[in-house]
Amino acid sequence: ECASKGVYNKFAAMSALISIYLDTRNFPQAESLAALALQSYPMNRVFLWGLCTALEKEGKIDEAMLAYGTLLERILEAKSSNPYNEIVCRLKLVISRLSAGKREDVEDQLQHILAWEGHEFPEGYGERAKAKFSQARQILEENGKTTDPRR
């Protein structure tokens, strides 16, 4: 009710509802609501994450790839001190590109991810980042590329 008719908390309710739709695997509704919210707040990364996830889960790979590219731009513009979101977004972008059979820029994105190895992450993110580094390295190796982050 608040997501459709609210005044002060409308977009907070929309954000919560997008999460609920994603959790319940109602990806078309999550996509639709995220797109609607982005009409009012096009720079909002929370709504972009919701849109990206919904598109990915719906198998709309080309659209997901474009959305992840936009999300990455927003993350880089924010210059956050926690690069974990950048790492996850780049990895999702790589996976969507590979799923679409597009290899351009994949190695570069993976090298950007690996360049963050050794960085001090906030509590709770270090182990998660290590898993992403491992996944990035595995993708590079599967594609016959080097894993030198200085590249």
Q: What is the pTM of this model?
A: 0.85
Q: In angstroms, rounded to a whole number, what is the distance separating the alpha carbons of residues 91 and 89?
A: 5
For the chain, list the strands marked E by DSSP: none
Q: Which residues contact 124 (CB under 8 A, 6 or more apart)?
A: none
Q: Is the pLDDT of residue 146 over 60?
A: no
Half-sphere exposure of 36 (CA within 13 A, CB side): 15
Burial class from Cβ neighbours inside 10 Å (0-12, 13-18, 19+) for residue 17 reads buried
Query: Which has the closest alpha carbon to 91: 104, 66, 72?
Result: 72
Q: Tell me the CB-side half-sphere exposure of residue 134, using CA atoms within 13 A.
A: 6
Whether the pLDDT of residue 151 is over 70: the answer is no
Whole-angstrom Cα distance, residue 74 to residue 51? 14
Helix axes 106-114, 84-99, angle to 10 degrees: 160
pLDDT of residue 145: 64
Per residue in 13-72, pLDDT (tens digit) is 999 999 999 999 999 999 999 999 999 999 999 999 999 999 999 999 999 999 999 999
- Please, which pLDDT band fits residue 7 given cuts at 50, 70 and 90? low
